[in-house]
Each structure stands twice: as structure tokens, then as C-alpha cells.
């Protein structure tokens, strides 16, 4: 789209779904300003100049301790994510995945990323899910649930130690 001769503002304008005045919870996490959001400072497992990774506040039943990797700069979705930010996110996701293998003993890893309402994006800041996978875990076939900080803490500690 931008590469098709359209100006950068066109992609942002056409594919943006954040409401006016959007208070981005992931921008809060990136700048260490947690305030009223569910994620806590203790959930952060990796912080680099370009990216932050943290234990998700919502889990699917058989995949506890999944991680979100975000760019520290605000990009709403894949369509506007610069290549350099994508590379930093990919590198962090790989490091998190390898740490999950060591820390959780999972059989595999899946990543997933959503764009726009029809793509099930719920937070208007690019983020990549990194899931620990187990045989027969049936990821996404059940409802996710919110977790408490004390439930997330042991997963964050194990991942930080493995990273």
C-alpha cells in the first residue's frame, strides 16, 4: 500500500482502528507506567531498547505463561510496522521461545499476531503472542481467562532466569 505509491499517512488512516485519545496499555508497559492496567512490572521478562516482552495477563487453559512481545514505539498493526521493528520483535520472540523450552519444558512453540477487529486484534498496538505448546493442548478451542499477578509470577521468574 505505501509501497504501491501511496503516502505513509494513507496506510495509517485507512487501517487504524484506535479511537481518538486512545490510552494505549502497551505504550504504558513500554514506558514503565503500569497504572490501572492488569499487567504488572513483575510480568516483564525482557526489555531491550526496541522491544519489551511480558507474561500475558490472559491465558488459555492449557498454555499458561504465554508471552506478548511488543515494540516500544507505538505501531498499531502489521501494516505500519517498520522492518527494523519487525526484526527486533522476531529476535526477541526467538529468545523468549528458546527460554520457554528451557524453563517450561514445553514440546513446541507457536506464535500468533492479530490485525484489525476482524482479525481479532483487541489492543491497538502491534503485539506478537508466543505460546508454549504441549501435545493435545487444543490452543484456541476454549475460552481465555484473566490471571492474577501471583499466578503469573512463577512463570515470569522462570523465564527471566532462562533468558
Q: From CA 12, how far away is CA 119, in angstroms rounded?
A: 17
Q: From CA 85, how far away is CA 71, in angstroms rounded?
A: 6
Q: What is the pLDDT of residues 114-152, one digit of tens each?
A: 999 999 999 999 999 999 999 999 998 888 999 999 999
Confidence grade of residue 33 (pLDDT, cut at 50, 70, 90): very high
Confidence grade of residue 3 (pLDDT, cut at 50, 70, 90): very low
Q: From CA 131, how far away is CA 97, in angstroms rounded?
A: 8
Q: From CA 62, how far away is CA 85, in angstroms rounded?
A: 30
Q: What is the pLDDT of residues 5-21, one digit of tens each?
A: 555 555 556 689 999 99
Can you spell out the DSSP letters for 50-116?
SEEEEE-SEE-TT-TT-EEEEESS---SGGG--HHHHHHHHHHHHHHHHHHHHHH--SEEEEE---T
Amino acid at each position: 500500500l505505501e509501497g504501491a505509491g501511496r503516502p505513509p499517512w494513507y496506510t495509517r488512516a485507512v487501517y487504524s482502528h484506535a479511537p481518538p485519545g486512545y490510552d494505549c496499555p502497551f505504550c504504558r508497559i513500554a514506558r514503565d507506567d503500569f497504572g490501572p492496567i492488569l499487567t504488572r512490572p513483575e510480568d516483564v521478562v525482557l526489555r531491550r531498547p526496541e522491544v519489551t516482552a511480558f507474561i500475558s495477563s490472559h491465558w488459555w487453559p492449557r498454555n499458561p505463561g504465554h508471552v506478548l512481545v511488543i515494540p516500544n514505539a507505538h505501531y498499531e498493526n502489521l501494516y505500519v510496522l517498520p522492518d527494523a521493528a519487525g526484526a527486533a520483535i522476531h529476535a526477541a520472540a526467538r529468545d523468549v521461545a528458546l527460554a520457554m523450552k528451557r524453563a517450561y519444558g514445553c514440546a513446541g512453540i507457536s506464535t500468533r499476531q492479530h490485525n484489525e477487529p476482524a482479525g481479532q486484534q483487541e489492543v491497538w498496538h502491534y503485539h506478537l503472542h508466543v505460546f508454549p505448546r504441549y501435545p493435545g493442548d487444543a490452543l484456541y478451542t476454549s475460552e481465555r481467562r484473566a490471571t492474577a499477578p501471583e499466578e503469573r509470577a512463577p512463570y515470569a521468574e522462570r523465564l527471566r532466569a532462562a533468558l
